[in-house]
Structures are given as structure tokens and as C-alpha cells.
């Protein structure tokens, strides 16, 4: 199987596989790329047309289905400067007693170009990497062109011992459309942080066409026997491109939420100060709680502060009444020491009549040995 037939078969077989892959592009997109084009030596009638490194440019418009497939329509142009022979000419021929010796030289090599349109099927592999690899295949039509090629064919004919010389100029300036095919492998790097939907691409493409038939035109001098009327150079290209792709289906990222200042909690209005058993003096922790109550009384609109003393049921009711009063008085005095006006403080003592935790008589319950401070 020839290289061309193998590539054509691979192209046709690969097309139905496009729907099996997944990629993230959704909706309409456009793309463009430029780069270097390396055209393999073109074989034609036993001669080889050699070319210098050229360039390639292409643009595309496509649609991503969001399910692993995207298809696109592409327009492309490739060109390479030619160097070397383009027309095969016979060396020595004898016709009717006349022996003709032919030599050939180039006056100008010209260029080889291909341009056309392709329909491509591609799929990306979104694997969580910084770049997204993709592959694709395409078919279409490519116009093969040779322009500016000029070849001078010199002849020396000998008839009956008499020699004559002549010079004939041929040119090739022709274009022929042929079936085109290509294979694509690339990487895409998202630039969405700068422009949503924009990606930088890097690609390798193999591009080929069926052999064209290009006319060889004689522009001066006598016709040279054996010079072909057409040539059919092969057309295989290796292209390296960089480009940009913009996906219109990508919405811009949401704007960052505005910073919201934390809401300060509402100042507490009720405080509990606890006491040791059968004690009315203030512990360090009790003084801290009273200081917080005094501070909060300045932060809110307070018109009255209620201070209520309580006791557990481990003593007699009369004793517990007096004990709860001493506790309430000590708390009120500490509030005044912390800057609270005495005239807004009301002091009450409830003894063991209002337990926080109901208990049997005689039980020592720490939560019932308390003073409640309420800011009104």
C-alpha cells in the first residue's frame, strides 16, 4: 500500500470515531493559525522538485457539541519556493536521420502553493492538565498551483553532418483542484483567566492531495520532442502552527463577591455570676463577668440594671435570703466600681425561692448560687 492510499484509508476510517471522544468546547467558535510548512520533495516524471521551507496560514469556524465532538470548516493556504528541475526532458533522440541532443536549465524555479477548504472533525481530551490535547482528521478540496517556473531547453540537432542549435523556453503557471486530506494533532492552553473562551493552540498537521495535472506551456522557440504537456507533482506537507481559538459559548466568570463586613453580635443583656458554697465574695471569674456587663451597659441604651441574688437549698430559707442579699450587694458594688451609676441599679434578693435547677431541700446546687444581672 502506498503512503497516499494508507493516509486516505486512515482518514476515512477515523471520521466515524469523532463522536466517541469528549471535549469541553461548546457552541460556536473561531480559530486561526500560522506557522512553517515543510513540503516533501515532489516527484514528477522521474524528476524531483525540491522546495525551501515555506509558510502556512489557516482560519476556521466550528461548533462544539459539548459531548466530545466538534466540527469545523477550514480555509488554508500553503506556499513554498521551488528549487530544482520541474520538467523531465529526453537526453538524446534520433528521428528520421536527425540526432537531437537536449540539455535543460532553469531560469527561474518559481513556487508551489496549495490552498483550499476542509471539513474537519476533532476531539479534545480534557484530562485535568494545564493543556488539553486534541486530534482530528479532515477532507476537502485543495487547489495545487505552480507559478513563475521557467525552464530553458537547449537542443543541438545533427542532420547529414550539419549541426543546428535552438533554445526553447517553457513555463508552468497553472492550478488544478484535487481531493485533499489531513491529520491533526494539537494542544490547547486556556487563556480564560484573561479572556473567557480564548485558548492558545499549537498544532502539527499532515496535509496532502491527489496528484494534480499542471500544464507545461511553450512560450518561445521550437517544440522539443518528448517534453511533456503536463506534469503531476506529488503534494505532501508537514506543518507546524501556533494559533488562537475563541469559543463564544463560554460565559465570563462570575464577579467575586463583595467583601461583607462581619456583623458584630448584639451585646448581651443578661449575665450570670456564680458563687462558691456559702460564700458571697467575688471570684476572679465573677469580676470578669461583671466587667463585661458594665461594658455592655455603655454600648446599649440602658435605663435600668436589675441585680437579683439567689441561693441553693442547702441552708435554711432565712439564711439563704440573707446570703443572696449579700451576693447581690457585692455585685452591685462591683458594677459601681466599674463605672455604672448607682441610681440605675436595682437590687433584689430571692433566697432559695427561684432556683435555676430545681432540687430537693438541702441539696448543694452550684447553678443556684448565683446573681443575675439584666440590662433594661
User: 284 and 208 in one domain?
Assistant: no
| CATH value at residue 328 | 3.30.1330.60
Q: How many domains, in total, are found in the chain?
A: 2
Average predicted confidence (pLDDT) for the chain: 85
Residue 263 is assigned to a structural domain of this protein: no
State yes or no: pLDDT of 80 exceeds 90: yes
In which band, very low, low, confident or very high, does the pLDDT at 103 lie, cut at 50, 70 and 90? confident
| Range 194-216 average pLDDT | 94
- Segments forming the whole domain that contains residue 207: 3-82+110-146+171-247
Residue 261: Cβ-neighbour burial (10 angstroms; 0-12, 13-18, 19+): exposed
Residue 37: is its pLDDT beyond 90?
Answer: yes
Q: Taking residues 183-210, what's their average pLDDT?
A: 93
Per-residue confidence (pLDDT) for residue 17, from 0 to 100:
38
Residue 42: per-residue pLDDT: 84
Residues 116 and 50 in one domain: yes
Cell of 75: 480555509
Q: Which pLDDT does position 210 carry in this prediction? A: 96
Domain final position from 247, 281, 311: 247
Clarify whether residues 318 and 274 are in a common domain: yes
Domain membership flag for residue 102: no
What pLDDT band is residue 261 in, cutting at 50, 70 and 90? low
Q: Say what the pLDDT of residue 237 is.
A: 97
Residue 63: per-residue pLDDT: 94
- Whether 299 has a pLDDT exceeding 50, the answer reads yes
294: in domain: yes
- Which residue carries 461548533 as its cell? 63
Asked whether 237 and 332 are in contact (CB, 8 A), the reply is no
| Residues 186 and 141 grouped into a single domain | yes
Residues 341 and 276 reside in one and the same domain = yes
Please indicate, yes or no, whether residues 115 and 206 belong to a single structural domain of this protein. yes
For residue 7, name the pLDDT band (cuts at 50, 70, 90).
low
Lowest-confidence segment of 235-239, 255-259, 279-283 by average pLDDT: 255-259
Q: Alpha carbon of 367 to those of 44, 132, 288, 293, 316: distances in Å?
A: 107, 66, 18, 19, 18
Q: Is the pLDDT of residue 100 over 80?
A: no
Whether residues 223 and 302 fall in one domain: no
Distance (Å, rounded) from C-alpha 326 to C-alpha 165?
141
Distance between CA atoms of 130 and 111, rounded to whole angstroms?
40
Average pLDDT rounded to a whole number, residues 109-135: 91
Residue 205 scores a pLDDT above 60: yes
Question: Is the domain of 189 the same as that of 283?
Answer: no
Task: Report yes or no on 209 lying in a domain.
Answer: yes
pTM exceeds 0.85: no
Question: What's the pLDDT at 264?
Answer: 62
In the prediction, which pLDDT does 130 show?
Answer: 84
DSSP H stretches of helix in the chain: 3-14, 284-299, 317-337
Q: Are 370 and 270 in contact (CB under 8 A)?
A: no
- What CATH code is carried by the domain that includes residue 11? 2.40.160.20
pLDDT at 48: 77
pLDDT per residue over 49-64, tens digit each? 889 999 999 999 999 9
Cell of 241: 502552527
Higher pLDDT, 158 or 247: 247
Q: Kindly state whether residue 16 falls inside one of the protein's structural domains.
A: yes
| Residue 206: inside a domain | yes
The closest of 69, 217, 91, 205 to 147, measured between CA atoms, is 217
Q: What is the tens place of the pLDDT at every residue in 305-353?
A: 999 999 999 889 999 999 999 999 999 999 999 888 889 999 999 999 9
Q: Within this chain, do residues 225 and 350 fall inside the same structural domain, yes or no?
A: no
Q: What per-residue confidence (pLDDT) applies to 98? A: 66
pLDDT tens for 220-247 read 988 887 788 888 899 999 999 999 999 9
100 lies in some domain: no
DSSP structural state of residue 243: E
Say if residue 188 is in the same domain as residue 57: yes
% of the chain with per-residue pLDDT over 70: 84
In a domain, 26, yes or no: yes
Q: Which of 216, 232, 247 is the last residue of a domain?
A: 247
- pLDDT bracket for residue 13 (50, 70, 90): very low
Kindly state whether residues 175 and 61 are assigned to the same domain: yes
Q: Give yes or no: residues 67 and 203 share one domain.
A: yes
Amino acid at each position: 500500500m502506498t503512503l497516499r492510499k494508507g493516509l486516505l484509508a486512515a482518514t476515512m476510517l477515523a471520521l466515524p470515531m469523532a463522536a466517541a471522544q469528549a471535549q469541553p468546547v461548546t457552541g460556536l467558535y473561531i480559530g486561526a493559525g500560522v506557522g512553517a510548512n515543510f513540503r516533501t520533495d515532489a516527484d514528477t516524471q522521474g524528476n524531483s522538485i525540491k522546495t525551501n521551507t515555506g509558510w502556512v496560514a489557516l482560519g476556521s469556524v466550528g461548533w462544539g457539541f459539548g459531548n466530545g465532538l466538534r466540527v469545523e470548516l477550514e480555509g488554508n493556504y500553503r506556499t513554498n519556493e521551488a528549487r530544482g528541475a520541474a520538467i523531465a526532458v529526453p537526453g538524446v533522440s534520433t528521428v528520421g536521420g536527425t540526432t537531437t541532443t537536449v540539455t535543460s536549465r532553469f531560469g527561474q524555479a518559481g513556487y508551489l502553493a496549495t490552498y483550499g477548504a476542509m471539513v474537519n472533525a476533532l476531539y479534545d481530551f480534557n484530562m485535568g492538565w494545564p493543556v488539553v490535547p486534541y486530534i482530528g482528521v479532515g477532507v476537502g478540496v485543495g487547489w495545487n498551483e505552480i507559478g513563475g517556473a521557467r525552464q530553458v531547453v537547449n537542443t543541438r540537432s545533427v542532420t547529414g553532418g550539419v549541426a543546428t542549435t535552438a533554445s526553447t523556453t517553457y513555463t508552468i503557471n497553472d492550478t488544478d483542484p484535487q481531493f485533499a486530506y489531513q491529520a491533526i494533532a494539537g494542544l490547547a492552553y486556556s487563556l480564560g483567566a484573561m479572556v473567557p473562551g480564548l485558548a492558545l493552540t499549537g498544532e502539527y498537521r499532515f496535509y496532502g492531495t491527489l496528484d494534480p495535472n499542471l500544464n507545461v506551456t511553450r512560450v518561445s522557440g521550437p517544440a522539443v520532442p518528448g517534453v511533456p504537456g503536463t506534469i503531476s507533482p506529488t503534494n505532501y506537507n508537514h506543518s507546524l502552527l501556533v494559533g488562537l481559538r475563541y469559543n463564544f459559548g463560554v460565559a465570563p466568570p462570575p464577579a467575586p463577591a463583595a467583601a461583607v463586613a462581619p456583623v458584630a453580635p448584639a451585646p448581651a443583656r443578661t449575665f450570670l455570676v456564680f458563687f462558691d458554697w456559702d460564700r458571697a465574695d467575688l471570684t476572679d471569674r465573677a469580676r470578669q463577668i461583671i466587667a463585661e456587663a458594665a461594658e455592655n451597659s455603655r454600648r446599649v441604651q440602658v435605663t435600668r440594671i436589675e441585680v437579683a441574688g439567689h441561693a441553693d437549698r442547702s441552708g435554711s430559707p432565712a439564711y439563704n435570703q440573707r446570703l443572696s442579699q449579700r451576693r447581690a450587694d457585692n455585685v452591685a458594688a462591683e458594677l459601681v466600681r466599674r463605672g455604672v451609676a448607682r441610681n440605675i441599679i436595682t437590687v433584689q434578693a430571692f433566697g432559695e425561692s427561684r432556683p435555676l435547677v430545681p432540687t430537693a431541700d438541702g441539696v448543694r446546687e452550684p447553678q443556684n448560687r448565683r446573681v443575675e444581672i439584666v440590662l433594661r
